[in-house]
Structure 1
């Protein structure tokens, strides 16, 4: 049952507080790796190259990710011109405090957050120093850094509890017991007030689930499970109403009160949410116009000649300034070209020297005796073993994918196709070779296109989740891949079995149980090969629309050269026949029904003069039935394709950078 947004957004109650505290204490004793992080960033700049010499540029998508505008933009600039996204940003983020990064769209907020979270390591264009407790970014720091993207990347058919439990089982160290991992997930649910919607599915734009605020808190809980010392959030209040946004920011304030370093970007907070911030950094076109405590922001702008002429939300006022809009009377506004320049100049002359000095003099977070922390850098936390990862991922795949595999429309499609084929070839005659071969080729077409077209969407649809979890180090690529290609097999083979069970007996194919079983085995093998083809194309292209187009064209080529439509294929395209999965499957299905073709050839008199029989039928007997390749060769080639397509898919996934 769905929970209303109002009820679900209620703050966490005290029920179970003692239990959650005890569970957290048990987990802390197992992790023994928690330490505060003082984040310093000095003169951080980021530049990106713009490619193309005019006209449409594809940099719009990149700019959207980095904090710039979205969509394709006109780019009359010369080739390889650089655009500055960030320009000399300096500041600190302190444990126990919430640092809010404000600014209009395109000001560089997301770019700065990605840099602070260590996501540009080794990348070109980033300059300046970003230090974590006085050290550069490392794997150990990465393990204690949580990053919550602006878009919630979650499996839609899992409940809140299932989502967090699977995350806990994968992300927490192998030294932590299963019960304690589950207890950690329950503690995160209680801490972020998700108890009332714990058994509600996440949902998406097509499936109703939890509210937007709850979904965002699930994403935060996803990161809080590893007890991060540094939590970075990209516009966590985006799309939420004022009340939900306030409660979310209040929850983040509670996390900061536990000694966490919280850094978040925010576009336009309400006045209540604004009051929850401790420190503030305001950006305008990639430059800093304010850094300091939240309480000193309004007095600072007033001191340089910018103050609201009537009571208003300070966040709205600063956003106007960052956009270059300055009030000239109580009721109207106009844009002044020099507003941004004045703000930047004032910051560089008044605040920047103080900020840089304070940043340099800020003490390194110690271990209690004034010394820099060292123990945490040697602390190791091994994830679950490969087989445990595989087992957990298999369980998650089964829970998530069963809704898609047994979708009512998909089941309806399969049953309708089997009934339609059954009625069209109702009790077909064994001697009516042309019709029988048409039936077998229909089966080959349907179960070549249907599974490959569905499988081609698998990796493109999961790309965002895969990249997020890969970046977090939740599992190895091999365990994910094995779980993905094996978890669906039991479910993927049910529908073709149902299809053949209906079609086979309705059409009067060879009435022997052994023949039915052999036909089923050939069909299931063909389905597995077709799924592999779809997975490989999807993994290489990683774009759902382009991949679906490619699989359609590929299967069209395989069907046309499959052996039923055209017997004399021109030599320059004849090679496609030997790469066609349909060709080998069609030959195997014929072999099960007619063997080597001698009996049907004798029955129809095709081996003699054929004077009283249809010449076209005899041609089908000679070229499709008697002229087929050896069944063992067909089986061997299908086995090679089964393995080969999956190896290609794995190699394609290895190319993807998190």
Structure 2
């Protein structure tokens, strides 16, 4: 009986759906079986089959939307005849067959449309008609739709893509040509010829208010800063320097050998640098002094303190060396002194004032042992970024650039200023120049004190001596320079003004470098002639003193006990010697407040720097575009055989009994392939954005950079990259697969999935090592792509009470967006609610799906930022 056949057909065809639902839908469309003729004579004209039920989509003269009935009229309405075995097999396999009776309706074939008024019309040129069309659909502009077209081949994005790629390649070639020309023909500084190297000293009123001088400025008159630079701030302790004794001109000549041995141009550079520093610091003193009394540091769960009873004074305007054996507490001492590590006991003072040293971080520079610089940037770009972020916000960009140019000349880096820094594994500049760049990034911010962790480590003797010569010159300008140093050459050792010697976390000696040998000789140690005093002193404080003291106690503990007995903690009256005036502290506070660009400008600086990095790593960028295009091509090729028809359902009543086998999972499967392809394309680049720069972030955060500005600048800089990668992927995918979803809808959904994968990769990069990040990011993208609600379906997952997990992943929302846009247009033909109930997706919420993708990507980035911000907080102090 036809009714039974239709039940069987529906159950078989709806293997992925509820059998009872399909059966009831078919039964509702079938009349009383008794009216069906017993013989299979439906092919006989005029034979009476099973009349289809009346429907608003059916009229006296034609079938419903998307169906075609060649001979039916008011006398002979559309009828259903039982299919033959061959026809039934064809329908169950998803194909169609000829009408089983003269009057049986048949779905309108692809390439034609069948209006409800009746008839079958071939799809005109400029339109396309998918299977079951009741009207022709206009093709998009730029499509190639011939007569009888069955899908929209949208080629306009392909043309745009080709143009963009040509422009990108052309821009890279032109930039490379310009770069080579600039290298061969370096241009003079655009500020050359202006007073002080091009710094127009604006806001002199502000300068006078800070300095306390309302008289015409010496700088304004173009006179070298002698009187104003004699540092009228009165009474706190400062080591006498050649700068103060001789005035600026004397300092120039005294430092001539320290800076560079040339025809005298260095004197002009030094003068300009000093004037620039004076303006930045408001004509206050250049250096800070540090007092530390009974300094103590003991980490939690550590049975012994790392530092204990360390007392001393570091004068401003001097070059100090911190020395000791491994484990003596050198790094801990310096970190406590500059506020990177909070002390657990004792008192630290800056300019005689006790308090939280972290508030001085904007005027204290720190150069780590490893040269943490960005290899994709040039020497000048690395230093310029630090200056832009950390110099006073009132400075114009031209003033900042001129300050950086002066500094480059003083550091003898002007001849390599446009050279890339390169990585340690693939260096472009020498090790000594790389170290100078690291130092220059701190000097660009005009610090009043500079701490360095083994600045000569890994350098040859010449480069090490050059670095120490530069530091010596800076101390002569009035800066406080404190450097951890290990086994220095004799020339380097003798260049130090003063020393702090530590052993077992205790003080062994603090004072002038020239007093080291007399101090140890007074304890019975001998210094052989023609030997390096630094080597002997290093052996003694490392516990090898028996070589130089045959009799008596030569251990480190005896050195510690002797110093403690001879140099007790300073009394309260002695500590008051370092007290500064209220005016000096007010000037210092004002200087700190003025430091640093506002957060919104820092966002721009970080964004601009990140774009430059991506341009310099253009091979990686083009590789990502190529991978995106290849992934889109392969996924599109896999979907091409469906000719864009990737959904079949149960026909709407009264045509349910004519349905072929359903295909509900083709759209989610397509979304799965899209998600996996995007994950493979975007996960590794997403890790690279932050995974290789955590050290840079920690250094910049410790220096006072706005963490939020850094992160936002990096995130925004990835948007052009994501858009271009998505353009390549979506264009190749859509041209081949031509699904029902429009190109713009697919582009929007794919772009937001790129956004999510980049955000997820950022989270991965926060918690993994750089080497492991790409692999884990790829695995994570595969997981969120597979769990998209296709298999197991959301309907199945709902019975497990775990739908929340699937709904928390971007793959589900991508699949739902694709399902809505590909299935909803067929609501006139198929029972799409049955498909929705079978899989568990929502329909008609494309906008909501995209908003949730956007929100998930934002949540991933918030998590990544929190990880960046609160993981390893000690490295950011």
TM-score of Structure 1 vs Structure 2, range by shorter chain: 0.7 to 0.9
Equivalent residue in structure 1 for 2:441, among 192, 205, 222: 222
CA 1:139/1:572 → structure 2, altered by over 3 Å: closer, same or farther?
closer
Q: Which residue of 2 aligns with 1:32?
A: 282
RMSD (Å) for aligned C-alpha atoms: 3.8
* Aligned ranges 1:68-217 → 2 under 5 Å: 80-120=301-341, 123=342, 126-137=344-355, 138=357, 141-217=360-436
Q: Which residue of 1 aligns with 2:558?
A: 342
Structure 1 residues 81-125: Cα deviation after superposition (integer angstroms, max 9, x where no partner) = 4221112222222223211111122111111111111223xx3x5
Q: Does 1:525 align with 2:752?
A: yes
Name the SS of the counterpart of 1:146 in structure 2.
strand
Shift of 1:310: 5.6
Structure 1 residues 44-102: Cα deviation after superposition (integer angstroms, max 9, x where no partner) = 221123xxxxxxxxxxxxxxxxxxxxxxxxxxxxxx34221112222222223211111
Question: How far apart are the structure 1 equivalents of 2:389 and 2:291?
Answer: 31
CA 1:172/1:454 → structure 2, altered by over 3 Å: closer, same or farther?
same
CA 1:334/1:551 → structure 2, altered by over 3 Å: closer, same or farther?
farther
Shift of 1:173: 0.9
Structure 1 residues 508-565: Cα deviation after superposition (integer angstroms, max 9, x where no partner) = 424x9x82222112211221133233334555x4765787677556544433331333
CA 1:595/1:404 → structure 2, altered by over 3 Å: closer, same or farther?
farther
Question: How far apart are the structure 2 equivalents of 1:306 and 1:601?
Answer: 99
Equivalent residue in structure 2 for 1:429, among 633, 643, 647: 643
Name the SS of the counterpart of 1:493 in structure 2.
helix
Higher relative CO (Cα under 8 Å, sequence separation at least 6) belongs to 1
Question: How far apart are the structure 1 equivalents of 2:527 and 2:296?
Answer: 31
Structure 1 residues 577-620: Cα deviation after superposition (integer angstroms, max 9, x where no partner) = 22221122123234444444457859xxx99xxxxxxxxxxx98
TM (norm. structure 2) is 0.61
Name the SS of the counterpart of 1:83 in structure 2.
coil
Shift of 1:397: 1.6
Q: Does 1:391 align with 2:604?
A: yes
Q: Which residue of 1 aligns with 2:523?
A: 304
CA 1:500/1:473 → structure 2, altered by over 3 Å: closer, same or farther?
same
Equivalent residue in structure 2 for 1:44, among 290, 295, 298: 295
Q: Does 1:263 align with 2:482?
A: yes
Q: Which residue of 2 aligns with 1:509?
A: 738
Shift of 1:501: 2.0
CA 1:411/1:311 → structure 2, altered by over 3 Å: closer, same or farther?
farther
Structure 1 residues 426-456: Cα deviation after superposition (integer angstroms, max 9, x where no partner) = 5543346677764442112121454345434
Question: How far apart are the structure 2 equivalents of 1:336 and 1:588?
Answer: 85
Name the SS of the counterpart of 1:153 in structure 2.
coil
Kept in 1: contact 2:722–2:751 (CA 8 A) = no
Equivalent residue in structure 2 for 1:489, among 719, 736, 744: 719
Name the SS of the counterpart of 2:298 in structure 1.
strand
Q: Which residue of 1 aligns with 2:233?
A: none
Question: How far apart are the structure 1 equivalents of 2:381 and 2:338?
Answer: 27
Kept in 2: contact 1:324–1:337 (CA 8 A) = no
Q: Does 1:635 align with 2:826?
A: no
Q: Which residue of 2 aligns with 1:376?
A: 588
Structure 1 residues 352-405: Cα deviation after superposition (integer angstroms, max 9, x where no partner) = 24x8589937943868xx996653344441532333222222211211234457
Question: How far apart are the structure 2 equivalents of 1:383 and 1:627?
Answer: 50
Shift of 1:469: 1.9
Shift of 1:30: 5.2
Q: Which residue of 2 aligns with 1:74?
A: none
Shift of 1:19: 5.7
What runs of 5+ residues in structure 1 fail to find an aligned partner? 4-8, 50-79, 608-618
* Aligned ranges 1:245-324 → 2 under 5 Å: 245-309=464-528, 311-324=530-543
CA 1:501/1:430 → structure 2, altered by over 3 Å: closer, same or farther?
closer
Q: Which residue of 2 aligns with 1:576?
A: 805
Shift of 1:262: 1.1
Structure 1 residues 396-421: Cα deviation after superposition (integer angstroms, max 9, x where no partner) = 12112344575054344334433443
Kept in 2: contact 1:38–1:261 (CA 8 A) = yes
Name the SS of the counterpart of 2:693 in structure 1.
helix
Q: Which residue of 2 aligns with 1:451?
A: 682
What is the number of residues matched between the two proteins?
A: 594
Kept in 1: contact 2:277–2:446 (CA 8 A) = no
CA 1:438/1:185 → structure 2, altered by over 3 Å: closer, same or farther?
same
Question: How far apart are the structure 2 equivalents of 1:98 and 1:30?
Answer: 22
Kept in 2: contact 1:496–1:523 (CA 8 A) = yes
Kept in 2: contact 1:20–1:183 (CA 8 A) = no
Name the SS of the counterpart of 2:450 in structure 1.
strand
* Aligned ranges 1:552-563 → 2 under 5 Å: 554-563=780-789
Kept in 1: contact 2:806–2:812 (CA 8 A) = yes
Moved more, 640-649 or 178-187: 640-649
Name the SS of the counterpart of 1:473 in structure 2.
coil
CA 1:336/1:326 → structure 2, altered by over 3 Å: closer, same or farther?
farther
CA 1:142/1:575 → structure 2, altered by over 3 Å: closer, same or farther?
closer
TM (norm. structure 1) is 0.80
